[in-house]
Structure 1
Amino acid sequence: MQQRIINFILRTSEIGNKILTELMYSTDEIANDVGTILVGEEAVKYKLINEVGGFSTALKKLNDIIESKKSL
């Protein structure tokens, strides 16, 4: 199951396998038994997501993508 999740993350983001593995097994913070918690701009920095925004930003982006596909 874990490998399926890792494969999904690698397939749908731009993070590299090595960096993802390092983040998953990092235990340097007291709050983390295993793994790293990334919030907002940290997730962008590691290329897990493209940008930070709210629901309206995501909905606008989705509509833009749909419109661009229609014109192909």
Structure 2
Amino acid sequence: MPNEDILTVKELAEYLKIAEKTAYRFASEGKVPGFKVGSAWRFRKSEIDRWIAEQEQKQEGEQK
């Protein structure tokens, strides 16, 4: 049974509408919440959604 809550780098890139290379760089630099399974990055969709909300709040705070 596939767990759709877990995203690969490719799926994360598609979800955020960014290049795979950028998604991998963000993960490697700790800019997005993720974890490694062996050498492959994985991301919980719920944590990515929370991260997106945090980014939006930061931007709103900067605009004030």
Q: Which structure carries more strand by proportion? A: 2
Question: Which of structures 1 and 2 has the bigger CA Rg?
Answer: 1
- TM norm structure 2: 0.33
- TM norm structure 1: 0.31
Bigger RCO (CA 8 Å, 6+ sep):
2
